[in-house]
Amino acid sequence: MSDAHEGYSEKFREAAAAAEYERFYTPGTADHAIWTHERKILTDLLARYRKNWPTCDYLDFACGTGRVIEFMESRMTTSRGIDTSSEMLRLAAPKLQRSELICTDITKSDVPEGNYDLITAFRFFLNAEPSLRVAVIKALAARLKNTESMLVLTNHGNPFSYKGAMWPIHRTRQLLLRIRSAHRRAVRLRNNFSALF
């Protein structure tokens, strides 16, 4: 694969970025409210389709800090989480009882590590660059066990979705954080420059 995939794949490699991601789902946040809704959707999905899988081998792709796999683990025969960030996996590990966590880039392997009845991919497709989305869909499709297998993903890019309604607030928050960071750097530079004289 080309280095075009390095953008989002690199985003959470640092401990600080992984810790910041973990805070998104603190009770009382918009993301926590969305996760409450997503848990209900997953529960309903399992009630409807679990009968198709006498045993259910499960993959949580881009599992991050373990939010989805922690919820699904006890409902599955086997469960595995894959992420490109060892820092995210480090935060996920204490939450899990028996799931296997693997730090790898599935777009760079021709041989799948397993085949699954159910694969989830939450928050990935909205954030990843288009070429990475295509590469990941191909890699995940190669991991589906059979025609009864299912890939469940979220993509809150639709402006009419609940995530779309939060977009202006999110973008404003990001802009304010950038401005604050730039201001801090400017103050440090000014102080360092003043110290020279």
Domain count, the chain: 2
- Asked whether residue 161 is assigned to any structural domain, the reply reads no
> Does residue 149 share a domain with residue 184?
no
- Asked whether residue 160 is assigned to any structural domain, the reply reads no
CB 118, CB 58: distance < 8 Å = yes
CB 87, CB 13: distance < 8 Å = yes
With vertex at residue 102, the alpha carbon angle to CA 101 and CA 105, rounded to the nearest 5 degrees, is 145
> Does residue 187 share a domain with residue 104?
no
* Residue 139 scores a pLDDT above 50: yes
> Does residue 147 share a domain with residue 70?
yes
3-state SS class at 101? strand
Q: Would the pTM count as exceeding 0.85?
A: no
Specify the pLDDT at position 163: 60
> Does residue 175 share a domain with residue 118?
no
C-alpha pair distances (Å), 57 with each of 77, 95, 100, 188: 6, 19, 12, 52
State the Cα–Cα distance between residues 5 and 120, nearest whole angstrom. Answer: 20
Smallest CA-to-CA distance from 31 within 21, 40, 41 is with 21
What are the residues whose beta carbons fall under 8 Å from the beta carbon of 107, sequence distance 6 or more? Answer: 1, 5, 132, 135, 136, 139
> Does residue 23 share a domain with residue 60?
yes
> Does residue 87 share a domain with residue 25?
yes
Residue 70, number of CB atoms within 10 A of its CB: 19
- Asked whether residue 162 is assigned to any structural domain, the reply reads no
CB 97, CB 119: distance < 8 Å = no
State the Cα–Cα distance between residues 146 and 154, nearest whole angstrom. Answer: 21
Least trusted range by pLDDT, from 21-25, 32-36, 88-92, 192-196: 192-196
Smallest CA-to-CA distance from 106 within 78, 142, 68, 64 is with 142
Structural domain boundaries, residue 147: 3-155
State the Cα–Cα distance between residues 163 and 127, nearest whole angstrom. Answer: 12
pLDDT tens-digit profile of 124-136?
888 788 889 999 9
The whole-chain average pLDDT of the chain stands at 83
Indicate the pairing of strand 78-83 with strand 100-103: parallel
- Asked whether residue 55 is assigned to any structural domain, the reply reads yes
- pLDDT-based confidence at residue 20 (cuts at 50, 70, 90): confident
Specify the pLDDT at position 19: 73
Specify the pLDDT at position 4: 43
> Does residue 68 share a domain with residue 103?
yes
CATH of the domain at 101: 3.40.50.150
Percent pLDDT > 70 in the chain is 81
C-alpha pair distances (Å), 76 with each of 13, 46, 82: 28, 10, 16
- pLDDT-based confidence at residue 160 (cuts at 50, 70, 90): low
